[in-house]
Amino acid sequence: MNLAPLSGLYAPSLALVTDLYQLTMAYGYWQQGLQDREAVFHLYFRKAPFQGGYAVAAGLALAVDWLENLRFSDDDLAYLGGLRGSKGTPLFPPEFLAYLRDLKFTCDVDAVPEGTVVFGNEPLLRIQGPLLQAQLLETALLTLVNFQTLIATKAARIREAAGPDDQILEFGLRRAQGFDGGLGASRAAYLGGADATSNVLAGQRYGLPVRGTHAHSWVMSFADEEQAFTAYAQAFPDDSVFLVDTYDTLDGVRHAIEVAKKMRAQSHELGGIRLDSGDLAYLSRGARELLDAAGFDQVRIVASNDLEENLITSLKQQGARIDTWGVGTQLVTAYNQAALGGVYKLAALRTADGTGWDFTIKLSEQLAKTSIPGILQVRRYLDEQGHPRADMLYNTAVPLPERLVLVDPNDATRRRPVRPGAPFRELLVPVFRQGRRVLDLPTLAESRALVQREVASLDPAVRRFLNPHTYPVGLELSLYDYRTQLILAKRPQRPA
């Protein structure tokens, strides 16, 4: 894995990958002398995407790279210095720009390792440090973690549908949302379970396996399919997959078999055929029969055409004979839910005297959108086999009571006591301390292997696509009670 997977890609500083209001707030904090007040923010989503039962945490390695390279360059400052307010005066005074120029990242960051399964309301990142800095990080961290988590989760679902033995190839670059929309998607797709990508830049920058066949235009450039396949086999005698549906799919398979025979006569074997249109269940069975009857049972059948986890499940149920799934648009854009609604919420501020904490809350008409105060950790309780049983969010800044009870944050009547001595692990691990990285990042392949172990450890009821069982995530009871008090204190109590 490339050690600078993101910043190395971009020529300029990436400090301006942010919303303007982060900078206007930063100026406001600086003006008020609040820039160094210690603050704690959590980055989390409220609901797993795709109406699914879980998500796969991802994006940390990119976030680390971005944080380690965060500096305001002279170009950045010149641009900010040129911004004007409605009266034509500079939005930011030179003194503040000088402050930004000298700004160094000094926060503590704790994060859930890439590849861990996570659920709604669980912090994926916890940032603790000077208010101005911690605020400035919001947009870029959300952009990176939201998208990587979304696509890694989609890929894990597609892997679930395809099963452990089939191959999954990602080739969505052409329908991706910009160059690094595609690049980031290829990374996350591999992390989540794809075996390879067609995206050559992603192969180069992230060390992913790259794969490819040929297009319809290749076939159309020759007088007929047999000539086209023969020419391709000359170029790649041991690495050919023929696309057979340019004119008529099963005729295409027959032409592929003719060429495969000639290849075999020269001690080469055809690798596969690809179906890209039509009824994939019917055509793959027909192709398999033709191939097997001709003695080519080693030839793999690759299929593509707007595939995603539900369609793959259905094709398998229909007896499709597909060995390799080419997934593009639906994976790299997470087409049926194109964004993860991750948020970044302030949860604690040092008291003015510097000795304690004020825990903060954002209200909402919907309880589910009300934030959770505290300096949170996620404790995952495990059963005897090491499988997750329930997760507990708790405030690390106050002592835990002896008897632990989990409360559903959205339904106070749903509670479960924690068995004393139950084994657990804590999901958030230290990544930065005072701006210095303290975690060795795993390779992308290691994180990819973790995804498979993590998903397999979940109950099948949580993994299923239709109406999955809700994995229990509770607030530790004293945190729940504290949050309730805070809501009541902040919300106006209007007479009925």
Touching a second copy, residues 10-69 (CB under 8 A): 10-12, 14, 16-25, 27-29, 31-32, 34, 37, 39, 41
Q: How many CB atoms lie within 10 A of CB 314?
A: 13
Number of residues that bind a second copy (CB under 8 A): 114
Q: Which of 51, 79, 264, 386 binds a second copy (CB under 8 A)?
A: 79
State the nearest-atom distance from the C-beta of 195 to a second copy, in Å.
14
Please, which residues have CB within 8 angstroms of residue 301's CB and are 6 or more apart in sequence?
Answer: 272, 273, 274, 275, 284, 287, 288, 291, 321, 322, 323, 324
Give residues 463-482 in contact with a second copy (rule: CB under 8 A): none
Strand-pair category, 343-350 with 324-327: unpaired
Say which residues have a Cβ less than 8 Å from residue 78's Cβ, sequence separation at least 6: none
Asked whether the beta carbons of 366 and 197 are under 8 A apart, the reply is no
Torsions phi, psi of 403, nearest 5?
-95, 120
The CB-of-347 to a second copy minimum distance in angstroms stands at 9
Q: Contacting a second copy (CB under 8 A), which of 3, 74, 164, 178? A: 178
Q: Which is nearer to a second copy, 335 or 424 (CB)?
A: 335
* Beta-strand relationship, 108-111 and 125-130: antiparallel
Residues 345-374 within binding reach of a second copy (CB under 8 A): 345-346, 349, 360-365, 369
By the rule CB under 8 A, 247 interacts with a second copy: yes
Site for a second copy in 152-171 (CB under 8 A): 171
Cβ 469 to a second copy shortest distance, Å = 27
Which CB, 180 or 454, lies closer to a second copy? 180
> Applying CB under 8 A, which part among 195-203, 398-406, 431-439, 456-464 lies near a second copy?
195-203
- Looking at the Cβ atoms of 269 and 481, the one nearer to a second copy is 269
Binding mask 383-422 for a second copy (x = CB under 8 A): ----------------------------------------
- Give residue 297's Cα distance to chain centre: 37
Binding status of residue 251 toward a second copy by CB under 8 A: yes
Among 63, 136, 183, 273, binds a second copy (CB under 8 A): 183
Tokens 């060795």 found at: 440
Compute the distance between CA of residue 8 and CA of residue 360 in angstroms, rounded to an integer. Answer: 37
Distance CA 126, CA 146 (A): 15
| 430 is a site residue for a second copy (CB under 8 A) | no
Handedness of CA 25, 29, 30, 36 (dihedral sign): negative
Examine residue 485 and tell whether it contacts a second copy (CB under 8 A).
no
- The correct pick among 51, 217, 318, 485 for binding a second copy (CB under 8 A) is 217
Q: Which amino acid is located at 188 in the chain?
A: A
Nearest approach in angstroms of CB 386 to a second copy is 34
Specify the residue, 173 or 406, whose C-beta has the smaller distance to a second copy.
Answer: 173
User: Is residue 180 within the footprint of a second copy (CB under 8 A)?
Assistant: yes
Q: Which lies closer to a second copy via its Cβ, residue 17 or residue 400?
A: 17
98 binds a second copy (CB under 8 A): no
Build a one-symbol-per-residue string for 127-156: x at contacts with a second copy by CB under 8 A, - elsewhere: ----x---x--xxx-xxx-xx---------
Among 275, 223, 270, 215, which residue's Cα sits nearest to residue 244? Answer: 275
For a second copy, give the closer residue by CB, 201 or 398: 201
Q: Which of these, 201, 198, 257, lies nearest to 233 by C-alpha position?
A: 257
Sheet containing 125-130, strands listed edge to edge, beginning at the edge strand earlier in sequence: 357-359, 343-350, 38-44, 125-130, 108-111, 429-433, 436-437
- Burial group, residue 13, by CB count within 10 angstroms (0-12, 13-18, 19+): middle
N- to C-terminal Cα distance for the chain?
61
Could you tell me which stretch among 50-58, 108-116, 455-463, 485-493 binds a second copy (CB under 8 A)? 485-493
Q: Cβ neighbours of residue 397 under 8 Å, at least 6 residues apart?
A: 348, 357, 359, 374, 375
| 87 interacts with a second copy by CB under 8 A | yes
Least distance in angstroms from the C-beta of 71 to a second copy: 14
Question: Which of 271, 374, 409, 468 is in the footprint of a second copy by CB under 8 A?
Answer: 271
CB of residue 437 to a second copy, shortest distance in Å: 21
372 within 8 A of 479, measured Cβ to Cβ: yes
Beta strands (DSSP E) in 131-178 are: 167-170
Selected from 121, 128, 149, 213, the binder of a second copy by CB under 8 A is 213
Looking at the Cβ atoms of 146 and 474, the one nearer to a second copy is 146
Residues 218-237 within binding reach of a second copy (CB under 8 A): 218, 220-221, 231-232, 234-236
Instruction: Identify the three-state secondary structure at position 300.
Output: strand
Residue 30's nearest CA partner among 104, 92, 80 is 92
